[in-house]
């Protein structure tokens, strides 16, 4: 049960219990004995969910509009094989906070972001900022037990390499 739904159930139970008339002492005694034997409701807080999956990084492109101040501008990144291929992503969601790791050709990276409703948005930074690896964003949509999205990154120091990847994650059990 989600935290908002649980909170709503607790509030409704509280208001229904508090709305009973206080004039009936037999009703109060019965209510007191019934509540004494019932198990207390304990709020365990937000549920932690772990998502795991893989990606396949490919070269990305950059569109520069042809006109105005950009007329004649061309961008050409390196054709290096760096950052091309497979890797894994592990995300942990606690409430609306998302953190995790990126491993493989785009890693090692650290993920930090948010989950609002079904939309997941996060930044990817380097685990070791001095390694000149990839940084960027992860954007996805959660539906049932699956999260699908995209990764968009560039090389940290000079942004001469652009990579993108489709991402598919499933809940880890």
pLDDT at residue 61, as a whole number: 82
Tell me if 161 sits within 8 A of 83, measured CB to CB: yes
Q: pLDDT by residue (tens digit) across 40-90?
A: 776 666 789 999 999 999 998 877 777 778 777 776 666 678 899 999 999
Q: What are phi and psi of 62, to 5 degrees?
A: -125, 125
What average pLDDT does the structure give for the chain?
Answer: 80
Phi, psi of 151 (to 5 degrees): -115, 135
| pLDDT value, residue 99 | 97
For residues 34 and 153, the model is more confident at 153
Highest mean pLDDT among 32-46, 85-99, 156-170: 85-99
Q: What is 48-171's CATH number, 3.30.420, 3.10.450, 2.40.128, 3.40.50? A: 2.40.128
Residue ranges per domain, the chain?
A: 3-37, 48-171
Mean pLDDT of 6-25: 43
pLDDT surpassing 70 at residue 1: no
d(CA 135, CA 153): 5
Using the predicted structure, report yes or no on whether residue 32 has a pLDDT greater than 70. Answer: no
Q: How far apart are the first and last CA of the chain?
A: 17
Highest mean pLDDT among 10-24, 31-45, 96-110: 96-110
pTM (two decimals) = 0.69
Cis peptide before 3 (omega within 30 of 0): no
Rounded distance, CA 80 to CA 109, Å?
Answer: 20
Neighbours of 16 (CB within 10 A): 9
Nearest to 78 by CA among 166, 157, 165: 157
């Amino acid at each position: 049960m989600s935290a908002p739904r649980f909170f709503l159930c607790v509030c409704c139970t509280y208001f229904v219990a508090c709305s009973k008339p206080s004039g009936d002492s037999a009703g109060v005694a019965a209510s007191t004995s019934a509540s004494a034997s019932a198990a207390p409701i304990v709020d365990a807080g937000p549920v932690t969910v772990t998502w795991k999956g893989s990606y396949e990084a490919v070269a990305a492109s950059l569109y520069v509009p042809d006109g105005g101040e950009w007329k004649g501008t061309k961008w050409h990144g390196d054709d290096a094989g760096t950052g091309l291929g497979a890797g894994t992503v592990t995300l942990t969601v606690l409430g609306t906070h998302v953190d995790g790791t990126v491993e493989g050709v785009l890693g090692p990276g650290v993920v930090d972001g948010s989950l609002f409703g079904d939309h997941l948005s996060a930044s990817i930074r380097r685990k070791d900022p001095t390694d000149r690896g990839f940084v960027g964003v992860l954007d996805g949509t959660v539906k049932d037990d699956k999260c699908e999205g995209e990764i968009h990154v560039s090389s940290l120091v000079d942004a001469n390499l652009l990579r993108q990847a489709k991402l598919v994650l499933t809940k880890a059990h």
